[in-house]
Amino acid sequence: MFLVLQGSEAGLLVGHKSTVDSVERSSGTDIMLGSLVLVWICIFIFIFIRIQRPKNFPPGPRPVPIFGNLFHLNLINPLKDFERLAQQYGNVYSMYIGGRPAVVLNGFKAVKEALVTNALDFSGRPQNSLPSHVTKGKGVIFADYGSAWREHRRFALMTLRNFGLGKQSMEKRIMGEIEHLVARLEKSAECSMNPKTLFHDAASNIIYLVLFGNRFNYEDESLKVFIRCFTENTKIINGPWGMKGEGRSSFDDEQLTRYVTDLHIAGTDTTSNTLLTAFLYLMAHPHIQERCRQEIDEVLEGKAQASFEDRHNMPYTQAVIHESQRVANILPLSLFHCTMRDTQLMGYSIPKGTIIIPNLSSVLSEEDQWKFPHEFNPANFLNEQGQFEKPEAFIPFSAGPRVCLGEGLARMELFLILVSLLRRFQFVWPEDAGEPDFTPVYGITLTPRPYKMGVRLRQKPGEIQKL
């Protein structure tokens, strides 16, 4: 059936079609004009609002307005980009995080000159950033450098010493937690397990004993919640994404709360991730594990348990622990610093308020500083006589006044835990686990990829025989 339109009806249809065509042409013109305006706005921004580098500022990639050099970085893992930019611009180069100027330090010479030699100039923390807003200037990790920070730092170190850091009372706390760790591993003997949460739980419980006076069972839901909250928060408090935004004592309840958080951060992630790295490499290099075990058996023969003082008689085991820390590279970019005043570095002028990014990763793998910079080799910490020797470039906890609060506790934990576990167990790479993957997962800390650990039981202390 056909519909025939005559007279005015046909005219109305033609008129309607003409109107539609006119509207479509007008809409297309508006879109074109809008696009042209947007292009001209972008050109205006790039031409007239260009970021100007200060005079004699370190060289670096050209920033763009608003975003700075964020497009030059892979924010999931920028370490390769930092290495590439250092090769192009030198060991001291600049970049912009949004509109804020930053200077990246690569290599031991540059890092030492800034954080140690000129510590007073480079020991600030970036303010008007996410961490500074969250912490409100409290605590010791993210607080700005000054008299209040020095007061809080002294208090934190004094508190740790009063709770036994460096003394036998702290050793007893650690060894008490190791008993629970051993009991947990004994349940997994002759099979494989995921060690990630185990080491994290153990390290957390040790600092909880200092902070709260009690520990949690490894299956306790409260422990899991605490660790998950701390882990998620530490992922976002440092890095480019965190930069968009004298007299009476400054102690108060809020300051005390911030201390608890800071000490937990300082005493947990570094230890647990280093242990995960150590056992990953010990399973991949069984001859290194066996040599450690032989030294441990000889030194501890007839003793019920290890003591921190035993480290002086275990040069090879000490070398393995330190090499694990070097390779683990837990804090690859440290925590960002900030210049306290206009200053100089390596011949460049650095204005007050400039963000300073110490690339510790570049120091811990610097070819001029290490015998074997790109492989796991305890010889990096042994001299020709086989004695333990720590190179000056070993700065996994950073350097200068801002060195990590938890360094002393971490060193004691790493030694006592690793020695106690190697004395009691043999750790093997599971046959069905494929090849080891040493590529870490990037965050505020570097973490080994999840892996399975095979556990084999040895004799109890006192019953140990040489293999």
Tokens of 247: 């007299």
Per residue in 93-127, pLDDT (tens digit) is: 999 988 899 999 999 999 999 999 999 999 988 87
Reduced to 3 states, what is the DSSP secondary structure of residue 425?
strand
Cα 394 from Cα 396, distance rounded (Å): 6
Write the CATH number for 258.
1.10.630.10
Q: Is residue 347 in a domain?
A: yes
Largest CA distance in the chain: 116
Q: Is residue 35 in a domain?
A: no
Write the DSSP assignment of 198-251 as a string of letters: HHHHHHHHHHHHHHTS----TT-HHHHHHHHHHHHHHHHSSSGGGS----S---
Cα 82 from Cα 105, distance rounded (Å): 10
Q: Is residue 102 in a domain?
A: no
Per residue in 312-325, pLDDT (tens digit) is: 999 999 999 999 99
Q: Is residue 29 in a domain?
A: no
Contact of 185 with 218, CB cutoff 8 Å: no
Q: Which amino acid is at 45?
A: I
Residue 328: what are its φ and ψ, rounded to 5°?
Answer: -60, -40
Q: How many domains does the chain have?
A: 1
Q: Is residue 395 in a domain?
A: yes
Contact of 204 with 227, CB cutoff 8 Å: yes
What confidence category does residue 228 fall into, taking pLDDT thresholds of 50, 70 and 90?
low
Q: Is residue 361 in a domain?
A: yes
Quote the DSSP letter at residue 115: I
pLDDT at residue 464 in the model:
42
As a whole number, mean pLDDT of residues 446-450 equals: 90
What confidence category does residue 6 fall into, taking pLDDT thresholds of 50, 70 and 90?
very low
Burial 84-122 (b: 16+ CB within 10 A, else e): ebbeebbbbbbbbbbebbbbbbbbbbbbbbbbeebbebb
- Strand (E) or helix (H) holding 337: strand 337-338
Cα 114 from Cα 117, distance rounded (Å): 6
Q: Is residue 134 in a domain?
A: no
- Strand (E) or helix (H) holding 94: strand 92-97
pLDDT at residue 258 in the model:
62
Q: Is residue 130 in a domain?
A: no
Average pLDDT, the chain: 81
Cα 330 from Cα 278, distance rounded (Å): 12
pLDDT at residue 231 in the model:
60
Can you give the residue range of the structural domain that contains 186? 147-457
pTM of the model: 0.81
As a whole number, mean pLDDT of residues 122-150 equals: 69
Reduced to 3 states, what is the DSSP secondary structure of residue 304?
coil
pLDDT at residue 200 in the model:
86
Burial 48-82 (b: 16+ CB within 10 A, else e): eeebeeeeebbebbebbeeebbbebbeeeebbebb
